Structure 1
Amino acid sequence: MSAAALVRPRPVHRAADLLSAYLPGSFYYSSARGSLLADGVHAPVDAPHGTRAAAAAAALTAAAVAGVEEPVVVGAIGFRPDGPSSLVVPALVRRAGAPGGDGPTGAARVPAWTITPRPEPAAYTAAVRRALDLIDDGDLDKVVLGRCLDLLADTPVAVPALLARLVRADPAAHAFAVDVSAPGDPAPRTLLGASPELLVSRHGTEVVANPLAGSLPRVADEDENRRRRAALLASAKDRAEHAHVAAGVAEVLGRSCVDLDVPAEPSVIGTPTMWHLSTRITGRVADPADPGSSALALAEALHPTPAVCGVPVVRAREAIADLEPLDRGHFTGLVGWTDLNGDGEWVVTIRCAEVCDRSVRLFAGAGVVAGSDPAAELAETGAKFRTLLRALGAEDPR
């Protein structure tokens, strides 16, 4: 028998097959570059803030030595330095191309929802006004304030069908589903979403980050959408907010990358519910074998960007802890994957929800800068909720 005959052919998967195969407890991730479905746990990756990339590299090396084929680390990291982390080397990984709009539809039944805002809208706008006072006093240049919607269904939520609807609604988004179960949960807890914001990717020597800041809701009328795109590009307030974010990301990547390209002007990108100012920053790592230049190491260095925290970062994080009534957990953290070569993709955990049995908690936030209007920031978070509300078949509570 020839050596070639002994080589087992690699299974060929379709993106729709991976989406259909997803079950709660699995890890799912898809973007324009492809789809990944991971199952089982070969080894957990448990390390404190700032050392997770090194721990992931060690776990990947150990997995390769143990015979795991093409091992990866997958999972999610929370917003705060002491926040939750769910990184693992899975036992089985399947890959496919980018998803299309033809994924499984799931059950057609729409649950009856009870929706509770946290905090109440009036309390959120009051927090924005307090943040504006801090900005006026010179304590902050920007702070991002989040809020939640707690939804309760009359039956358990079908997570695979919900994920499928998110992917089908926007195949170009960075869709994800991660098990984040904690002791005491009555059922598996899943973090899932469709993030528009790439924190950082690395493939070979190429590094890409795509920070977003400055937003307007998308509407059905295309003439009005053209006006809103133009208004975003012309808005001094939104451009200033975006400049904080792009400069912060460029400064961090400049420590590890060469040939860094930062466009002088932002562009506008769209999702099914929003328009965002966007800057696509590219560069190269000089030595892709350097553990400090892995996708996860770069993501750790970048997190949290001013897009989800503020400027300056430490003071903004203190203000968030003071002004937001609930701990963010995984919201505005990062989710993604890294392989043995250091390649990978990590996205900002936005347009997301946590699902456990009949309960769903949705998250959204808005950046507050000088000139922000509290009512407009409330409306922006409401528009951002629509990604998940539509997928859930729930009414917008406004």
Structure 2
Amino acid sequence: MSTAAHQVATHRPLTEPAHPAVGAATALLDTYSPDARFLATPTRTLLTRGELRAVPQGDAPVAERVTGALAESGGSLVIGAIPFDQRAVPALVIPETVHTGPPLAADPLIALPADPPRAASWDIRPDPAPEVYAQGVAAAVDRMWQGEFSKVVLARTLVLTSEDELDIAGVLQRLARRDPSGYTFAMPTAPGRTLLGASPELLVSRRGSLLVANPLAGSTPRSADLAEDVRRAAALLHSAKDLHEHAVVVDAVHQTMAPYCSKIDVPVRPTLIRTATMWHLSTTVTGVLSGPETSALEIACAMHPTPAVCGTPTDLARTVIRETEPFDRGFFTGMVGWGNAEGDGEWVVTIRCAEAAGRSLRLYAGAGVVAASDPAAETAETGAKFRTFLNAVGAEL
């Protein structure tokens, strides 16, 4: 038996044990190193190493290329990231070895605190500057009032540079232990580059015939004061601007999922979810898949980009993004996840993320801009979203 065949044969099944062992999930987190791929979701924890085959670039849809790569390699799953622009080169591989554990939130040891960030002097460069970002938001609002489009998601970045090597494993520990119920990931995207993040947003998952999507749109920063935190959450639930923004995204998700489903359920009103730094309006859309031939990745690619990360109408919003943002989004607002040969999988919106390279981190944060948006408020929202990573590396604006 070849080495590759032996490695495939020893892959662990993607099922959750009825009584997961204490420490099973955190052991995978603890053994992560930057040459591995790590993904923790509310259903499982994955750690993979090596690659039997990289999913190639090509003219065929990425889901078709993944299906071909799985069949040719004999691998059990694909894992990695897809850029915001699906035509760009993906960072998807069929790994050599796969270790699977229960979700982090089910492991009592996840409550143990991570080591604090090492003392470091960070040089922080905004790209663009906050005032330039606010000007871009104001220009977009003016165009919306003129009827050109109804929403665009505009992002800004922070480039953090240190004199010391980045402690990627330590950053991942702090991200995972701060929000263990979310989607935490660390994926190589190119030699010497790692995509890290802790996203709250599921694009779509499939398990058998069950499809689940969890669009988020409409956000407000959290407060350290309990009374103020509750007030902000209640205000978000009743914000006409945020409820409208959220409804547009949910409708887009519904319209995209419906052709694949024999049954679909869309709640009438959103609920709230929270991360360590933000409140979000959330709707869980569920559906029953019409046929087994459609994979989670195929549906994810059909849904991406939703108005939550791009805007409405999509093509015009893309143009506004290219005209306004002075950087290439790369994998930011793309998707990250896993899928298997049976079509099951989980694909997550790549937000609350950064890309590490050498001694630098580029942090990304965006905000949904609609006609009622206030440039200062949207700038403040992106600043609050940066806190996820700033806290993880011990930096402050």
Provide TM-score, normalisation by structure 1.
0.91
Could you give the per-residue CA deviations for residues 232-275 of structure 1, whole angstroms, max 9, x where no partner exists? 11111111111110000110001111211011101111100000
CA distance in 1, matches of 2:11, 2:151: 53
Tell me, yes or no, if the aligned pair for 2:122 and 2:395 is still in contact at 8 Å.
yes
The alpha carbon displacement at 1:9 in A equals 11
Shift of 1:108: 4.9
Work out whether residues 131 and 368 of structure 1, in 8 Å CA contact, stay in contact via their aligned partners in 2: yes
| Partner-residue secondary structure (3-state), 1:307 | coil
Tell me how far apart the structure 2 counterparts of residues 254 and 76 of structure 1 sit (CA, whole Å).
25
1:89-147 Cα distance to aligned partner (Å, 9 max, x none): 01110000011424683575221111111100110000001111221121111000000
Q: 1:36 to 1:276 in 2, by over 3 A?
A: same
Structure 2 distance, partners of 1:341, 1:164, is: 31
Amino acid of the structure 1 residue aligned with 2:151: K
Which ranges in structure 2 are unaligned for 5 or more consecutive residues? Answer: 1-8, 14-20
Tell whether 2:151 aligns with 1:142: yes
| Equivalent residue, structure 1, for 2:17 | none
Measure the CA separation in 1 of the matches of 2:48 and 2:91.
13
CA-CA distance at 1:287 after TM superposition: 1.5
Q: Secondary structure at the match of 1:350?
A: coil
Partner of 1:180, secondary structure, is strand
CA spacing shift, 1:44–1:276, aligned 2, 3 Å:
same
Residue 46 of structure 1 pairs with residue 56 of structure 2? yes
Counterpart residue identity of residue 92, structure 2: L
Give CA-to-partner distance per residue, 1:293-334, whole Å, 9 cap, x none. Answer: 201101100110000000000000000000111110110000
Measured in 1, the distance between the counterparts of 2:195 and 2:202 equals 17
1:320 correspondence with 2:321: yes
Q: Does 1:72 align with 2:114?
A: no
2:304 and 2:285 mapped to 1: Cα distance?
Answer: 16
- Secondary structure, aligned partner of 2:319: helix
Change (3 A) 1:132 1:52: same
For 1:318, the aligned partner's letter is T
- Between the aligned residues of both structures, percent identity stands at 48
Summarize the Cα distance change of 1:142–1:325 in structure 2 as closer, same or farther, 3 Å threshold.
Answer: same
- Whichever residue aligns with residue 238 of structure 2, its letter is A
Equivalent of residue 285 in structure 1, options 274, 285, 289? 289
Which residue is 1:154 aligned to? 163
> Does 1:20 find its partner at 2:30?
yes
How far does residue 10 in structure 1 lie from its aligned partner after superposition? 6.0
Amino acid at match of 1:198: L
CA distance in 2, matches of 1:203, 1:366: 31
Superposed counterparts of 1:275-314, under 5 Å: 275-288=279-292, 290=293, 293-314=294-315
Contact 2:198 2:353 in 1 (8 A): yes
Structure 1 residues 117 and 50, CA, compared in 2 at 3 Å: closer, same or farther? farther
| 3-state secondary structure, aligned to 2:256 | helix
| Mapping for residues 127-206 of structure 1, pairs under 5 Å | 127-182=136-191, 188-206=192-210
Equivalent pair of 1:143/1:310 in contact (CA under 8 Å): yes
The DSSP-based 3-state class of the residue aligned with 1:322 is helix
Query: Contact between 2:117 and 2:393, CA under 8 Å: does it hold in 1?
Result: no
Pick aligned residue for 2:71 from 61, 66, 81: 61
2:239 aligned to which of 220, 235, 238: 235
The answer for unaligned runs of 5 or more in structure 1 is: 1-6, 183-187
Q: What SS does structure 2 have at the residue aligned with 1:255?
A: helix
Q: 2:250 aligns with which of 246, 250, 264?
A: 246
* Letter of the structure 2 residue corresponding to residue 314 of structure 1: D
Partner of 1:3: none
CA deviation profile, 1:266-295 (whole Å, cap 9, x unmatched): 11111000000111000011222x1xx201
Is residue 120 of structure 2 the alignment partner of residue 111 of structure 1? yes
The alpha carbon displacement at 1:83 in A equals 2.7
Alignment length (residue pairs): 377
Query: What is the CA distance between 1:63 and its match in structure 2?
Result: 2.7
2:392 is paired with a residue whose SS is helix
Match of 1:4 in 2: none
C-alpha spacing 1:49/1:314, structure 2 compared with 1 (3 Å): farther
Q: Tell me, what secondary structure is at the counterpart of 2:124?
A: strand
Over residues 307-362 of structure 1, what are the superposed CA-to-partner deviations in whole Å (9 max), with x where a residue is unaligned?
00000000000000001111101100000000011100000000000011210000
Deviation at 1:32, TM superposition (A): 1.2
